């Protein structure tokens, strides 16, 4: 039985945690962004292992490795989520919170384009219009920033491809198992990255702030796993369309933090660019609701 109240509370908690990440990363500013990502991976992986042990999911975890197809797609997803994490932490550390939020606003548009390219799906006129508004927004923001909004595009692209890889799994691997394997695959990369931080990046700062600093870095890693598990649980109680609308909570929170807490500039051209993106999302949402209504009829 679906429990909508439980689903909304779980989903809302997950998106609130994701939305709060800029605040958490800013508090970890004593460490190099590359080091922050290392501990995010390491402690996220350890959290997943603990959760698997607590839920006695080792049998289902072993089953995943029996399918080369599953492992291939999980390996692909691990690379792109690693890129996503790295670019995101660097963006927040370099005070590009608003542009990072843009990446997650345009992610649905990128997902639509990936569906056309890789899944051979056909877009409706509304969807093409939404993509057109998104492309125009990128042009406007390129003039505003004086460069391509590469942070937003990289975040949207990497997370979009990550979602595509997840789609290829077809729900055959649980969120917890998938996260554990993904994190495990990039732990060796994280170790190499940590060595580079020590040798050429100014040194490892994990213990530089005492127990509170170490706890903060560890907690950030754990909080990478927790909302993902909450999201998976929420999806079991809510229709996909509700989950789709809730995904906008995270960039809305991050955008608000960028303006109200971090006081990032928002010139007129940037408002115009974001307005075009929001218009494209309204069109996509309208099309999704119309399609749902037609399907019921």
Locus of tokens 């439980």: 6
Where on the phi/psi map is residue 56: left (φ > 0), alpha (ψ -120 to 50), or beta?
left
Are 105 and 278 contacting, i.e. CB atoms less than 8 angstroms apart? yes
Q: How far is it, in rounded angstroms, from Cα 46 to Cα 44? A: 5
Q: Looking at residue 224, what is its pLDDT?
A: 83
Mean pLDDT by 10 residues, the chain (297 residues): 75 88 93 94 93 89 89 91 94 95 90 80 83 92 94 92 79 82 94 94 90 93 82 69 73 95 95 94 80 56
Q: What integer pLDDT is reported at residue 115 of this predicted model?
A: 79
- What's the whole-model pTM score? 0.89
**How many domains is the chain built from?**
1
Domain that holds residue 226: 4-296
């Amino acid at each position: 039985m679906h429990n909508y109240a439980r689903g909304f509370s779980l989903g809302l908690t997950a998106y609130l945690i994701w939305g709060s990440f800029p605040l958490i990363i800013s508090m970890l500013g004593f460490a190099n962004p590359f080091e922050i990502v290392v501990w995010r991976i390491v402690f996220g992986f350890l959290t997943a292992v603990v959760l698997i042990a607590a839920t006695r999911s080792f049998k289902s975890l072993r089953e995943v490795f029996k399918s080369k197809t599953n492992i291939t797609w999980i390996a692909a997803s691990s690379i792109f989520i690693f890129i996503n994490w790295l670019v995101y932490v660097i963006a927040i550390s370099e005070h590009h919170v608003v542009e990072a939020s843009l990446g997650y606003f345009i992610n649905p548009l990128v997902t639509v384009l990936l569906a056309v390219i890789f899944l051979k799906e056909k877009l409706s006129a509304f969807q093409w219009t939404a993509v057109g508004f998104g492309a125009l927004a990128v042009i406007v923001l390129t003039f505003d920033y004086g460069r391509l909004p590469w942070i937003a595009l990289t975040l949207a692209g990497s997370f979009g491809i990550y979602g595509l890889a997840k789609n290829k799994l077809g729900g055959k691997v649980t969120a917890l198992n998938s996260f554990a394997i993904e994190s495990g695959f990039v732990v060796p990369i994280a170790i190499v990255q940590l060595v580079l931080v020590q040798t050429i990046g100014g040194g490892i700062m994990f213990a530089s702030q005492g127990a509170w600093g170490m706890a903060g870095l560890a907690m950030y890693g754990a909080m990478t796993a927790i909302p993902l598990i909450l999201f998976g649980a929420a999806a079991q109680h809510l229709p996909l369309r509700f989950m789709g609308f809730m995904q906008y909570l995270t960039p809305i929170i991050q955008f608000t933090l960028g303006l109200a807490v971090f006081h990032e500039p928002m010139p007129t051209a940037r408002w115009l660019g974001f307005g075009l993106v929001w218009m494209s999302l309204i069109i996509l949402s309208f099309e999704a609701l119309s399609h749902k209504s037609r399907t019921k009829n």
